[in-house]
A and B are shown apart, each in its own frame.
Chain A
């Protein structure tokens, strides 16, 4: 199985009035065909910006500072807007967090999906387009597509709208789907349905998926691999099993232990103090150091490199350096040092 997407040392910066923001800093990862990679982290850690940088859906003031984005071995980092337009849809597609804001309220569902179909296949006849629309509606689990395609977004519930957004995203058979918190605005019962739909589509169409979320329960359900992001950097990456059963980065520990699931019978949820740093002039050294109860002196001086745990599991923390104090982690039990 080859890598369909490879990102190497990607850095992005945005010029703002207050200074230069660096939402993505030196990020590398790869994505194999048919694989689901979850990107986890608090809001403001650059998860969405990473997806948008790869799809080049950035504001005009943003620049790709360094790095390569390889799609099936070809670097697309230098491509202009016109060349990117061809890739979007064909290679990449994206599902956003809030389906209510993505859909056009003045167009019927059917014509919005048809629009996406036509853009990617201008030669298609009207009959073929409407057939494809019905096929897509069926694919995302909207029954009675023939009648329902005439309805407008406001007739649909949140979950149904998200299904329509997915139909639009899938209109061009993308190879890689970016799903940016697709279930965050939905209820748990609807979330479960959408997640199952995503998994089944992903298996049926063999697309690779980058799934952005802050919910570890969702990661456990859908992801093959998970990357934990903090302050614009990936701090830990590994298979889902490795991240859940053998987390190595203190930030991953913090995220896991704040889950109410692991806090049965406790009076207080163990929480990480503070919030992520502003990405304008990120702090020197490890950005997580000031929230990290196990920060070492070196954390304030120098950002840690990736240390290899296994062939698939890497974590950027000085705790893994030879000679660092050994600290083990128990879920829900907080930390224990030795």
Chain B
């Protein structure tokens, strides 16, 4: 099988059971693919299923139906997963939203960064400390941080430690679930530049999940827009921003406040009222590489 696509997701559905007959369809028939070496952005409001999707891709949850191919291996199939477990768990890395809770408070930064190596049983070339310091260096932190605890660091610094921990395994795929959402604007800009640079140097494939379209526009080469568990539009970033086809995408774009008081004041921000037809439809190709979910034939 050709591995042009790093990640191929087809007809993925995931349901969270509540009590009795109640359940929440967190993901409903999601299909898309991520090409090798690209930065793919996934946007949508909270509750649209972005994090669930990320967790399914990383085998945290087992899908109810559908397939996830990582380099041609169906990771949703327990048998295929077991056979390739070592490779899957080292070559894919996850960066979480809240670095305050995803880093062990009782471990020093050095141990946090090298823990994945120890788990995978990889011996460093010189020493663990040296490897940790190199990984931190790439994430923009110096050696001083090796002996700190997460509580001593600011939000931006902690997120850099989380990035270093992911980088130390030299992954081929990094899935980052809202890695900048908890940071303030100037720190977000620093992080986005860092991602950009690292991706260029290391050429890993990057799935970037965010609700901030402005940053996605800057960082990603392709973007998928999610709404209520469904993927409603997928396109190249430029194409999507020039020519958004789905009503929800347009509302999402219009909701970003413009940092210009004269333009921003009095601007009416539309509210998206879902139209059952629009959501029930299928994801169809409207232009080359531009997929949109539509129920109508005329779009």
Contact = CB atoms under 8 A, between A and B. Distances in A.
Contacts of B45: 187-190
Interface stretch (B58-66, B83-91, B188-196, B279-287): B188-196
Nearest to B257: A217
Contact of B259 (A188, A254, A259): A259
Contacts of B260: 220, 244
A158 B186 CA distance: 25
Contact of B212 (A42, A188, A240, A256): A188
B56 interface: no
A190 to B, nearest CB: 7
A244 B260 CA distance: 7
A258 B180 CA distance: 14
B153 to A, nearest CB: 10
A187 B190 contact: no
Interface string A191-224: 1110110000000000000000011111111010
Given A188-B213, A189-B272, A258-B185, A220 B265 contact: yes
A263 interface: yes
Contacts of A158: 46
A191 B255 contact: yes
A271 B259 contact: no
B258 A220 contact: yes
A271 B189 contact: yes
A104 interface: no
Contact of B189 (A193, A218, A269): A269
A212 B193 CA distance: 26
A275 interface: yes
Given A188-B213, A189-B272, A192-B257, A220 B186 contact: no
A276 B155 CA distance: 12
Interface in B237-287: 251-252, 255-265, 267, 269, 271-272
A260 B218 contact: yes
Interface string A84-127: 00000000000000000000000000000000000000000000
B214 interface: yes
B105 interface: no
A44 B217 CA distance: 28
Interface string A248-266: 0000001110111111000
Contacts of B190: 258, 271
B214 A261 contact: yes
Contacts of A261: 214, 258-259
B47 interface: yes
Contacts of A269: 189, 192-193, 218
B80 interface: no
Nearest to B46: A187
Interface residues of B, number: 42
Nearest to A199: B265
A189 B184 contact: no
B259 A42 contact: no
Given A158-B46, A196-B269, A255-B185, A244 B259 contact: yes
B261 A220 contact: yes
Nearest to B154: A275
Interface string A124-157: 0000000000000000000000000000000001
B215 interface: yes
A268 interface: yes
A263 B186 contact: no
A43 interface: yes
A210 B150 CA distance: 32
A309 interface: no
Interface string B202-232: 0000000001111101100000000000000
Contacts of B255: 188-189, 191-192
Interface in A161-202: 187-193, 195-196
B187 interface: yes
27 contacts: A42-B184, A43-B183, A44-B154, A187-B45, A188-B213, A189-B45, A189-B251, A189-B252, A191-B257, A192-B269, A214-B185, A215-B185, A219-B261, A221-B267, A223-B261, A240-B261, A241-B262, A255-B185, A259-B189, A260-B192, A261-B259, A263-B218, A268-B193, A268-B196, A269-B193, A275-B154, A275-B156
Given A261-B258, A269-B192, 8 more contacts: A157-B47, A190-B45, A193-B269, A193-B271, A241-B261, A244-B259, A256-B259, A269-B189
Interface of A: 42-44, 157-158, 187-193, 195-196, 214-221, 223, 240-241, 244, 254-256, 258-263, 267-272, 275
